């Protein structure tokens, strides 16, 4: 059976388009919060297949999305490489920062990667057997630049001044860090496909803070290498890139990385995406996640506009970023009805 989500990534135009939502498994669902309370911490949650499988399946039961995405976190890679990673309640991720070659040398090691990530691979294997026949399974990872921002800054940031400064002032160290992330991320994604993932998405959530030249160096080049490595082993697995905030550089990103699909944030002009990007790759997006919180007429008008403009070519309906915790589940239900023409 050909899955609609995968058909769209092969360049087919489908009406209605397939849909899934970033962070579709998350805190906006009461059943997710109930399962989350059973884990001692967030990494334990990600590394416990029973829990990770269950929360991946929860939104499928409610909304019958066309794709499920592995429940995990982009920071399992630095954790598997040996960096200390903690998720602190109310503060988010906290890492022991790596800011120079000596710290990298003393901390990071590729040799234990697959063993450390074995529980994630087991989650992928089980999901590939448990999701509905019509649903595609997406594996994922963070892009090297975005993961590096956390590894160098030691936490999330508003302006990424530390990591941008390090990338400028010590490019040799930063290149070594990116190279290690290209290798580890490629290994991780290849193994996810071995275990049953049918598509991969790479999240470059903080690509939009880079200057043009730095975007080419730290976002496009590493992603091109990852795509090349994964496709060398799994030539038919589609890969979606999501360089959030890339603006006009989305076009170069598609051309240089050779991704099959491109995730667009909500700031991208729809007609430009249709005319410039859609001939190059399947586009995915682009509803503002806060419109999903608001719901009502404004959301309905924007959904209709997105469908009208992007629905005439290869398209996957999604948000411009992940579902936020304050989203009412009934708004997601209404969104599904609108996209599917059932409203």
Sequential pLDDT tens for the chain (343 residues):
689 999 999 999 999 999 999 999 999 999 999 999 998 899 999 999 999 999 999 999 999 999 999 999 999 999 999 999 999 888 889 999 999 999 999 999 999 999 999 999 999 999 999 999 999 999 999 999 999 999 999 999 888 999 999 999 999 999 999 999 999 999 999 999 999 999 999 999 999 999 999 999 999 999 999 999 999 999 999 999 999 999 999 999 999 999 999 999 999 999 999 999 999 999 999 999 999 999 999 999 999 999 999 999 999 999 999 999 999 999 999 999 999 999 7
Instruction: Give the chain's end-to-end CA distance (angstroms, integer).
Output: 27
Distance between alpha carbon 110 and the CA centroid of its chain, in Å? 22
Distance (Å, rounded) from C-alpha 244 to C-alpha 268? 10
pTM for this predicted structure: 0.98
Side by side, the strands of the sheet bearing 315-319 are 67-69, 136-142, 199-204, 239-243, 261-263, 282-287, 315-319
CA proximity to 340, closest of 21, 1, 23, 19:
19
So what's the pLDDT on residue 90?
Answer: 82
Alpha-carbon gap, residue 207 to 167, rounded angstroms: 13
Taking phi over 0 as left and psi of -120 to 50 as alpha, with beta for the rest, 140 belongs to beta
- The pLDDT assigned to 40 comes to 87
On whether the CB atoms of residues 320 and 266 are closer than 8 A, the answer is yes
Q: Name 95's Cβ contacts closer than 8 Å, sequence gap at least 6.
A: 75, 78, 83, 84, 85, 86, 150, 151, 154, 155
Torsion on CA atoms 212, 214, 217, 218, rounded to nearest 10 = -120
Domain containing residue 264:
4-339
- Cα–Cα distance measured from residue 250 to residue 235, given in angstroms and rounded to the nearest whole number: 23
User: Which residues lie across from 59 on neighbouring strands?
Assistant: none
Q: Rounded CA gap, 315 and 307, in Å?
A: 9
Residue 27 is predicted with a pLDDT of: 95
**Alpha-helical runs (H) found in 154-266:** 161-169, 171-194, 212-215, 221-233, 250-257
The total of other beta-carbon atoms located within 10 Å of residue 97's CB is 19
Cis status, amide bond into 317, omega within 30 of 0 = no
When divided into structural domains, the chain yields a total of 1
CATH of the domain at 145: 3.20.20.210
Q: Where are the beta strands (DSSP E) in 32-178?
A: 67-69, 85-88, 92-95, 136-142
Give catalytic residue positions.
Answer: 23, 27, 36, 73, 150
Residue 215 has a CB neighbour count (10 Å cut-off) of 23
Handedness of CA 95, 247, 260, 15 (dihedral sign): positive
Cβ pair 199, 137 in contact under 8 A:
yes
Structure tokens at 224: 């091109």
pLDDT at 158: 84
């Amino acid at each position: 059976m050909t899955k609609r989500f995968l058909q769209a990534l092969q360049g087919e135009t489908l009406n209605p388009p397939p849909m899934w939502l970033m962070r579709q498994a998350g805190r906006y669902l009461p059943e997710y919060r109930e399962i989350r309370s059973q884990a001692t911490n967030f990494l334990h949650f990600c590394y416990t297949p029973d829990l990770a499988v269950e929360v991946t399946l929860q939104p499928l039961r409610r909304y019958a999305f066309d794709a499920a995405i592995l429940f995990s976190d982009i920071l399992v890679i630095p954790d598997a490489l040996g960096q200390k990673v903690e998720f602190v309640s109310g503060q988010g991720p906290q890492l022991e920062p790596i800011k120079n070659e000596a710290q990298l040398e003393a901390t990071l090691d590729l040799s234990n990667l697959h063993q450390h990530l074995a529980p994630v691979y087991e989650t992928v294997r089980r999901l590939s057997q448990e999701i509905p026949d019509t649903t595609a399974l997406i594996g994922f990872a963070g892009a090297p630049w975005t993961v590096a921002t956390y590894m160098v800054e030691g936490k999330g940031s508003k302006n990424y001044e530390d990591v941008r400064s390090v990338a400028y002032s010590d490019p040799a160290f930063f290149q070594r860090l990116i190279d290690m992330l290209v290798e580890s991320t490629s290994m991780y994604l290849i193994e996810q496909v071995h275990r049953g993932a049918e598509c991969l998405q790479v999240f470059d959530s903080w690509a939009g803070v880079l200057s043009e030249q730095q975007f080419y160096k730290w976002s496009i080049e590493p992603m091109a290498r990852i795509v090349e490595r994964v496709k060398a082993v799994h030539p038919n697995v589609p890969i979606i890139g999501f360089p959030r905030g890339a603006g006009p550089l989305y076009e170069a990103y598609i051309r240089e990385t050779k991704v099959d699909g491109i995730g667009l944030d909500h700031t991208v002009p729809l007609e430009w995406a249709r005319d410039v990007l859609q001939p190059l790759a399947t586009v995915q997006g682009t509803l503002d996640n806060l419109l999903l919180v608001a719901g009502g007429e404004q959301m309905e008008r924007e959904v209709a506009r997105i469908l009208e403009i992007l629905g005439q070519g290869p398209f996957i309906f999604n948000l411009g970023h992940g579902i936020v915790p304050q989203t009412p589940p009934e708004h997601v239900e209404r969104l599904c009805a609108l996209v599917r023409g059932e409203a």
